[in-house]
Amino acid sequence: MAFDIDRFMKQQFHPFPVAGSEPLKNAVGRGEIKKDDTVLVLNRGGESLAFWMYQMTYHHVAQGKLAGEPYIVNY
């Protein structure tokens, strides 16, 4: 099967630009994220970020910086 360039769609998903974060326990404490919700966790250089799967199923791509280095995560 060959790659069909006519079926390729640019910018099909809107990336989620991560500008800041907060402790996960704060979002859970406010009830924005439930204790049994699924999160996607990224670890780098002793730092961690948790992405709420509800957001990731819409955006499919998140990007930002973690431990001073750029990252991109997709789902």
The string of pLDDT tens digits covering residues 1-35 is: 677 777 666 667 777 788 888 999 999 999 999 99
For the whole model, what pTM was predicted?
0.70
Tokens of 24: 């996960």
> Where do the domains of the chain lie?
15-74
Instruction: Determine the average pLDDT of the residues in 41-66.
Output: 90
Cβ–Cβ under 8 Å, residues 36 and 49? no
- Look at residues 27, 55, 30 and name the one whose alpha carbon lies nearest to residue 40: 55
Helices and strands (H, E) in the chain, number of each type:
2, 5
